[in-house]
Amino acid sequence: MAASKNDITAAGLRKLEEELKRREGETRDQINARLREAREFGDLSENAEYDAAREEQAANDSRINELKHIIATAKIAEINENDLTAAVGTRVKLEDAQGHKVEFSLVGTTETNSLLNQISNESPVGEALVGHRTGDEISFMMPSGKMATYRIVGIEIAEASDSDE
pLDDT digits (tens, 9 = 90+) for 38-79: 888 777 677 788 888 889 999 999 999 999 999 999 988 888
Which of the listed residues 57, 76, 95 is the one where a domain comes to its end? 76
Q: Residue 149 in contact with residue 136, Cβ under 8 Å?
A: no
Residue 40 within a domain: yes
**CATH number of 93's domain:** 3.10.50.30
Task: List the one residue out of 163, 116, 120 whose CA is nearest residue 14.
Answer: 163
For residues 107 and 41, state if they share a domain: no
Give the chain's domain count. 2
**pLDDT exceeds 50 at position 37:** yes
Structural domain boundaries, residue 20: 7-76
CA atoms within 13 A on the CB side of 83: 4
Evaluate if pTM is beyond 0.85.
no
Q: For residue 129, what pLDDT is reported?
A: 95
Could you tell me if 37 and 55 lie in one domain?
yes
